[in-house]
């Protein structure tokens, strides 16, 4: 129709390489000890940025999973049916080792390298980020169990995806979920009511569980880590979905949740009724064992939120570069440059810190200070990075005007996804309290953190002064739980500043210090005040 000429609409950001177009990511991977991941990351980055994967992500979130409780003849089956796009996405992510490269890497730097893949993957689709994150954390736990290392651990670490409910021994690769949250107890797992009793067979690590879990994501996984009360207290178990003889374990899916985002990934409520389980922790040590695992998922979800922010930023910048208003590209309008440069600096700071903490995982066996950072780093970034994601996604969405709010642009999905990483694996308050616990139990930890910040000493007087002021400021906090978020934010901002001053382009580091430490910024994105080299910041963040 003559009336319907389409002019001045931006093109889609499709068929681009999410790794090659991100010089900050390549530099961080090399600096933090995994330069060798670059070729693999470049191949994966091309897949992640392809129109095909973008379409799969759209379809998998549009056509949500369906629960099939019974078959046509009335037999209970407890299966979830997914759109084929979800299976293809799972095959891509698990095939590339997003879940396992840390544990299978041919050389040092495996956690950083896996972090790079996860950062890229979370730019493509976040629902699959749930099973990949759980697998990353579960592999070391399975490997530490003589009974489960070869059977479950090796198969979970394998690259590949084999859906379908069959005995684990008949599969080459598997997936694994973690279901801990009950109706009355999410943060406080000690209040779990699911009961465990010994099965009475020859093996003293075999139990029967009865109870429920209120949240159980990826319920078609081959098995689940579950907390239940044994005689000596909360204990961690592995519950297989299919038993060795091929029969189904007693695992009943009650419903699928109708979620705000993360819609490709089924999240369910389940019941156990004398369900077969293998004990993984000592009796009464289940929560401590599960918390060891949580460091991995917390790191991974922070990396995931950083990836989500990067994708939101890339989409927004590409869009405003391709659309004009008031006579020139929106990207060149001064106030929009303030918004975009602010987003770019934030995104770079998030990536830089999360990969620095991933390196601490690679070095924790050899250096005591790395072990300290491995302990405190995940809750710090889980709080701060994940917490920043919703505001960041909302701002990026607005850069695209009305189109940003429409479901067939990826920003709408990213926006609905963004709050989730704040909630699971320890919600914001819980991880901030965990940082306090870590500082309280290790008196030398604060010095190690200050050492990270002082590594940049002499490069920026504003940063030096802010770091020097931290111990006094902490000393004045007489009610620490009340002030825990403030403290975590301060530590993160100083650590990020120190890293950027050492490694980022000067215009990025200077803008960060001026606006995040020096007060040259209001509350929202785009409220930096002063003069900042925004065009230069943006050209370096996402080359045209």
Ligand X SMILES: Cc1cc2nc3c(=O)[nH]c(=O)nc-3n(C[C@H](O)[C@H](O)[C@H](O)COP(=O)(O)OP(=O)(O)OC[C@H]3O[C@@H](n4cnc5c(N)ncnc54)[C@H](O)[C@@H]3O)c2cc1C
Binding footprint of ligand X on the chain (CB under 6 A):
177-181, 186-187, 215-217, 259, 262, 267, 420, 423-424, 427-430
Structure tokens at 488: 């975590």
For residue 167, CA distances in Å to 172, 241, 249, 273, 277 come to: 11, 8, 10, 20, 14
The DSSP code for 50 is: S
DSSP 199: -
Query: Is 312 within 8 Å of 397 (Cβ atoms)?
Result: yes
Q: How far is the CB of 171 from ligand X (least distance, A)?
A: 21
Shortest Cβ 67–ligand X spacing (Å): 15
Which of residues 130 and 537 has its CB atom nearest to ligand X in the complex?
A: 130
DSSP secondary structure letter of residue 330: G
In this complex, which beta carbon is closest to ligand X, that of residue 174 or of residue 178?
178
The residue among 45 and 127 lying less far from ligand X, judged by its C-beta, is 127
Yes or no: say if 269 and 288 are a contact pair by the CB < 8 Å rule: no
- Please list, in sequence order, all residues whose beta carbon lies within 8 angstroms of the beta carbon of residue 270, skipping any fewer than 6 positions away: 179, 212, 213, 216, 219, 251, 252, 253, 254
Nearest to 213 by CA among 152, 122, 155, 275: 275
d(Cα 164, Cα 242) in Å, to the nearest integer?
Answer: 10
Structure tokens at 307: 């990836």
Return the sign of the alpha-carbon dihedral for residues 417, 34, 499, 512.
Answer: negative
**Residue number, 434 or 452, with CB nearest to ligand X:** 434
Nearer to ligand X, 215 or 313 (CB): 215
Structure tokens at 347: 């995104």
Output the smallest distance, CB 419 to ligand X, in A.
Answer: 9
Concatenated DSSP letters for 384-400? HHHHHHHHHHHHHHHHT
- Smallest separation, CB 523 to ligand X (Å): 22
Please say which residue, 28 or 381, places its beta carbon nearer to ligand X. Answer: 381
The nearer residue to ligand X, 67 or 154, going by C-beta atoms, is 67
Closer by beta carbon to ligand X, 18 or else 180: 180
Q: How far is the CB of 540 from ligand X (least distance, A)?
A: 35
The residue number whose beta carbon is nearest to ligand X equals 186
Nearest-approach distance from CB 259 to ligand X, in angstroms: 5
Q: Provide CB contacts within 8 A for 88, sequence distance 6+.
A: 56
Select 293 or 460, whichever has its Cβ closest to ligand X.
Answer: 293
Q: Do 500 and 447 contact (CB within 8 A), yes or no?
A: no
Query: Which of 102, 94, 108 has the alpha carbon at shortest distance from 44?
Result: 94
Residue 538 CB, nearest approach to ligand X (Å): 34
Closest CB to ligand X among 180 and 373? 180
Closest CA to 265 of 413, 396, 157, 394: 413
And the tokens for 43? 């191949």
**b or e along 431-449 (b: 16 or more beta carbons within 10 Å of the residue's beta carbon)?**
bbbbbbebbeeeeebbebb
CA distance 495 to 489: 10
Question: Toward ligand X, which CB reaches closer, 254 or 427?
Answer: 427
Reading the block at residue 35, the tokens are: 């330069």
Q: Provide the minimum distance between the beta carbon of 126 and ligand X in the complex, in angstroms, as a whole number.
A: 11
Dihedrals phi, psi of 219, to nearest 5 degrees: -70, -5
CB of 510 to ligand X, least distance (A): 36
Q: Least distance in Å: CB of 302 to ligand X?
A: 15
Q: From the CB of 177, what's the least distance to ligand X, in Å?
A: 6
């Amino acid at each position: 129709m003559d009336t319907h000429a389409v002019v001045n609409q931006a093109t889609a950001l499709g068929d681009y390489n999410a790794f090659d177009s991100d010089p900050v990511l390549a530099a961080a991977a090399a600096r933090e000890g995994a330069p060798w991941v670059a070729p693999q990351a470049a191949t994966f980055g091309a897949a992640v940025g392809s129109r095909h994967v973008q379409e799969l992500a759209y379809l998998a979130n549009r056509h949500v999973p369906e629960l099939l409780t019974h078959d046509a003849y009335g037999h209970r089956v407890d299966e979830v049916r997914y759109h084929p796009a979800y299976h293809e996405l799972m095959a891509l992510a698990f095939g590339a080792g997003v879940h396992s490269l840390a544990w299978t890497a041919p050389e040092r730097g495996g956690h950083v390298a896996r972090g790079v893949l996860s950062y890229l993957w979370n730019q493509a689709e976040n629902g699959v980020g749930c099973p990949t994150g759980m697998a990353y954390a579960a592999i070391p736990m399975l490997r530490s169990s003589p009974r489960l290392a070869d059977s479950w651990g090796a198969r979970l670490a394998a690259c590949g995806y084999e859906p379908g409910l069959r005995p684990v021994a008949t599969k080459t690769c598997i997936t694994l979920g973690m279901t801990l949250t009950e109706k009355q107890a999410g943060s406080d797992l000690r209040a779990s009511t699911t009961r465990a009793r010994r099965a009475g067979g020859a093996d003293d690590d075999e139990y029967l569980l009865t109870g429920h879990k209120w949240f159980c994501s990826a319920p078609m996984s081959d098995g689940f880590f579950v907390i239940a009360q044994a005689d000596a207290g909360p204990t961690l178990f592995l519950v297989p979905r299919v038993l060795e003889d091929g029969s189904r374990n007693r695992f009943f899916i009650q419903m699928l949740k109708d979620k705000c985002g993360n819609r490709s990934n089924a999240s369910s409520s389940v019941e156990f009724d004398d369900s077969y389980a293998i004990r993984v922790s000592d009796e009464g040590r289940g929560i401590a064992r599960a918390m060891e695992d949580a460091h991995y998922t917390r790191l991974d979800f922070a990396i995931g939120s950083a990836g989500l922010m990067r994708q939101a930023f890339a989409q927004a910048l590409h869009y405003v570069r391709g659309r004009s208003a008031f006579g020139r590209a929106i990207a060149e309008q001064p106030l929009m440059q303030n918004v975009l440069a602010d987003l770019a600096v934030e995104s770079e700071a998030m990536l830089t810190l999360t990969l620095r903490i991933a390196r601490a995982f690679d070095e924790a066996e050899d250096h005591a200070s790395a072990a300290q950072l491995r302990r405190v780093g995940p809750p710090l970034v889980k709080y701060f990075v994940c917490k920043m994601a919703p505001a960041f996604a909302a701002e990026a969405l607005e850069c695209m005007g009305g189109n940003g709010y429409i479901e067939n642009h990826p920003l709408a999905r990213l926006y609905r996804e963004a709050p989730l990483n704040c909630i699971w694996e320890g919600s914001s308050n819980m991880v901030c309290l965990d940082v306090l616990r870590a500082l309280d139990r290790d008196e030398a930890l604060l010095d190690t953190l200050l050492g990270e910040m002082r590594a940049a000493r002499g490069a920026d007087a504003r940063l030096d002064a802010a770091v020097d002021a931290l111990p006094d400021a902490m000393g004045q906090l007489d009610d620490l739980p009340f002030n825990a978020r403030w403290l975590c934010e301060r530590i993160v901002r100083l650590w990020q500043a120190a890293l950027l001053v050492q490694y980022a382009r000067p215009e990025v580091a200077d803008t960060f210090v001026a606006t995040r430490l020096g007060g040259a910024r209001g509350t929202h994105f785009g409220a930096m005040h002063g003069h900042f080299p925004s065009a230069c910041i943006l050209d370096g963040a996402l080359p045209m």
